[in-house]
Structure 1
């Protein structure tokens, strides 16, 4: 592994950071204070992101994306992660890699318009009674001739309010396993406006203001077999094969926010004077800075290693879980300490620290809780010993 960035990687990092600072930072305060991301801002920033070549950068070149390797893509994600989540995720969209699993007809209808910025997608797995335990989902799709009838509810579905279609995972049967019956899952494309499919406002939450979630309801929603993504009963296989390094993506965006918070803390510690000297000279502050920088570096190395191994084809579930676990828990610590160093000013919304602190909380929950990541890591350690 090379620890220095290539010339191309440095250019992508510099370009993305400059874009974030010039085009996204100016809109942050409005979105944070209103909790709303206006469509005019979305379209304005989106058009500039497309012009800058930063839109859909996670997609292969052959379908119109930037064709970044995983490690370089994570560096790009880190830079976007510095900003308000709603702004960078919606305006500089990265369509779900699972769209690559579609047929050419499905790609024409769903994938290519997302890459061109004409449509948005959303992914619907989570239910009120099925979060990490996706096999426990109750929403179902039953075959009726050549069609499927969908019933049930999904919730916590990110940005479904603006999505033109949803990729929905439904239980379509059961199979017997040594551990008892398990649900078979199938993925479907469901267009907004399909009869029997409704999207209603979700929950207000403390993290990522302007980045909405929704509740999806299916009431005898009829779909043709052509709406199946992949094969019937093979929804988990489609997800595992095509969703990509989503845990590493979460880790990378956490790195960007932590680095921004640390930068504010270092600058404040060098400028703020108490008792006749800069507060950074007090051990109570200087040791905080040292710990913050060390934890950030450790999380960054785990994330870059995961991305590098992903490109080599030998990444493990544990590699990605370690990066996600470390980066998300590091961000919580860095954000909290940055506020502590600033004192009361750290809690004022003139600075991004209170936002970073709030936003950090969800990172230890979505894409698998910290407890799930620890389970994955320990399971990989114990399995070779038959435990």
Structure 2
């Protein structure tokens, strides 16, 4: 005698919260969303307490932060404009992280990329705008790429810690920029704020039609998608992740670790150098000290908050760009210094680093009680 089929109502799938198998399969993914999100919320709460000590209402703080970042179409455009260089400088940290390297020199690569792009534009004023723009892109990528490759080479051939060397290269890059801008490349008409000559309005890359957001945002998004494909869907990316997981094992199986380090560092620096080129060709129109706006350092926070995932960098960069964009509104409405957002970014960074110890330690995300 055959038994009857189970009642369809009884065959309804078990909810994910009650299914240990679901948590075992997707627990890691949930961690990568839940833990950074909790770190961000915790940082905002602490920043609210910090603001309350100065007699300001934290609820007003959060409201104006939202309004300044995402409350209007103007706010959105300001946020997206600031997110563009953050995506590219975050890739400067995220790509070497696949090899287990901690590169924090995106700011220096951005400055060198900007300087290289400006130099090539001023060297060929007779060329058509499209040729000049392509030359600027190439110069920015190569300049920034070689700058970070220097940190990789010091790591590979001299055993110098890449974190220290890349940070020191930021200050060397800033010194080079100041030396050239205040010296041989200085525009005689720039009096109070030394800068180079303008690259010309025809050579600017312009904005996306219908918006005030420059094309740098598209460059950043394309670079993030290309980086994701490179790292997770190519042999080169697989080799880089293997070397990052166990460099000794990678050498045993014959992977060219030294070549991987130099190539990854070049690509990482090239992304930050492209950010510098975009700041020149889309925002400043020339090279000056305004380029040292801290995008490279904020990019480090973006990369860590995104867990070094190139695709996750895009929404995180938009979020951090929004926080940065809200600084002016906080200053006008609450009387807070514009640099208050830097305090918030510092608190977020501390929370993100502290939360790193939680990965793999949350029992219920493993399907365990």
TM-score range with shorter-chain normalisation? under 0.3
What TM-score, normalized to structure 2?
0.26
Q: What is the TM-score normalised by the length of structure 1?
A: 0.25
Higher helix share: 2
Judging by fraction of residues, say which structure has more strand: 1
Query: Which structure is larger by alpha-carbon Rg, 1 or 2?
Result: 2
Does 1 or 2 have the higher relative contact order (CA < 8 Å, sep 6+)?
2
